Amino acid sequence: MSIKTADLGNGVKGVFIKNDRFKTTLVSFNFYLPLKKETVASFGLLPFILTSCSKKYPDFSRLNYKLCKLYGARLDASTEKYGDYQLLKMTVSLINDRYSLDEESLIKRACELLLGLIFEPNTENGAFLEPDLEREKRKAIEHIKGEIAEKRVYAKNRLISEMYKDEPYGLSKCGTIEQVSGITGEELYSAWEKCLSSAYITVQVVGSAIPQGLFDDIAEKFSSLSRNDITDCKGTTPTVECKEVNTVTEKMAVNQGKLVMGFSCEAQGDDDKTLPLMVMTDIFGGGPYSRLFSNVREKMSLCYYCSAAASRIKGMITVSSGVEAENADKAQKEILNQLEIVKRGEFTDNEFESSIKSICDSFKTYSDSLNSLDLWYALKVHNENIYSPEEMAEKVANVTREDVINAAKGVKLHTVYKLLPKENG
């Protein structure tokens, strides 16, 4: 696997990720924008409405017919939170050109389709059409309701909102139900214009080959735009150590309580700065070899599940656990005790080696999926050096116990969120 990049001008970058394992190619258009309360819901809705219809294909049946003509090409959309930024993804995947009976490149035609959806949405008089808007708003609201209903997700989202109150990172990547409900056709049109004029954009092609002149054609399309105040994706604010731990307790009609703890980390930023933090988090609360799983969950039976995850770009670790109400404080105390054990370097060689091996093995799986490779590189845009999954595995293999201990010493409890059952059900 290899990667080649091209500056397409006007704040647009082309990335070709060569991988010969697949008979298909994936092309993604990635738009990076600042997370802001005023625009998060509108931006979050954009990828979905743009990939559902356009001026040329005003309904799904006509768009689907076009995709069928492209040998069953597939459109996808997503909204991600990337540090203090929102990442809007629109992708098309289809068979490689060499399997096509057509003389013209399928990949080029698929890109033309996606560019048409992005540049010529189904709008009228400066507004998205009401039926399309209401359809996508309804789907977005159902997604948000689904996250609220899934209490494990809800509890972690609530921790983040409390930990980063009044900060961009505290916002939901899709906004709230109220924000989505209030979006008008005119507001979404304004968000679309803002996206095209100021987003930092990457166009990624993942596959065995890239058609000659593809990036030139895309560059020409974007050169027609008036682009200004282009988003700088390297401005994520580090998580600041909290002088006094904030504890928030909420009670609902739930059977199982949730304990979620947020920690600030001194290590923050790109891969070169935070690989020891990755290993430390995994030893602390990654696989079945981790301190939290083997001790807090298995030996002490204080929770149903207990795991740690890091947002390294933000310099933050979260520990999520499912607990009985009477065990919440005991679990919290033991989680902190396990962190201190890691800080003192009292984890075993087996735990350290198992973590290194598990992380390296997980990197190898990225090459098994076009979507995984696409997202891997889309989430590396802030890095000074862009490493492939294989190169990252080599770097992780060189992390030492001392590196892990030093990373752990910079981890401090910031916020605790408890979701507990209401008394009497």
Per-residue model confidence as pLDDT tens for the chain (425 residues): 789 999 999 899 999 999 888 999 999 999 999 999 999 999 999 999 999 999 999 998 999 999 999 999 999 999 999 999 999 999 999 999 888 888 889 999 999 999 999 999 999 999 999 999 999 999 999 999 999 999 999 999 999 999 999 899 999 999 999 999 999 999 999 999 999 999 999 999 999 999 999 999 999 999 989 999 999 988 899 999 999 999 999 999 999 999 999 999 999 999 999 999 999 999 999 999 999 999 999 999 999 999 999 999 999 999 999 999 999 999 999 999 999 999 999 999 999 999 999 999 999 899 889 999 999 999 999 888 999 999 999 999 999 999 999 999 999 999 999 999 987 64
Q: Full-prediction pTM beyond 0.85?
A: yes
Kindly compute the dihedral angle of the four CA atoms of residues 277, 278, 282, 284, in this order, to the nearest 10 degrees.
10
Kindly list the distances between the CA atom of residue 412 and the CA atoms of 155, 208, 243, in Å, as whole numbers in the listed order.
Answer: 20, 45, 10
CA distance 367 to 390: 9
Which segments within 152-256 are labelled E, that is strand? Answer: 200-207, 246-252
Burial annotation 135-147 (CB, 10 A radius, 16+ → b, else e): bbbeebbeebeee
Q: How far is CA 90 from the centre of its chain?
A: 14
Q: How many CB atoms lie within 10 A of CB 235?
A: 12
Kindly list the distances between the CA atom of residue 225 and the CA atoms of 113, 193, 195, 416, in Å, as whole numbers in the listed order.
Answer: 18, 10, 11, 46
CA distance 236 to 274: 15
Domains in the chain: ranges and CATH: 2-223 (3.30.830.10), 246-421 (3.30.830.10)
* DSSP structure class, residue 297: I
* Local structure of 93: helix, strand or coil: strand
CA distance 145 to 159: 17
Kindly list the distances between the CA atom of residue 293 and the CA atoms of 122, 290, 303, in Å, as whole numbers in the listed order.
Answer: 50, 5, 9
- Give me the helix-helix angle, 185-198 and 130-149, nearest 10°: 80
* Local structure of 210: helix, strand or coil: coil
CA distance 158 to 168: 14
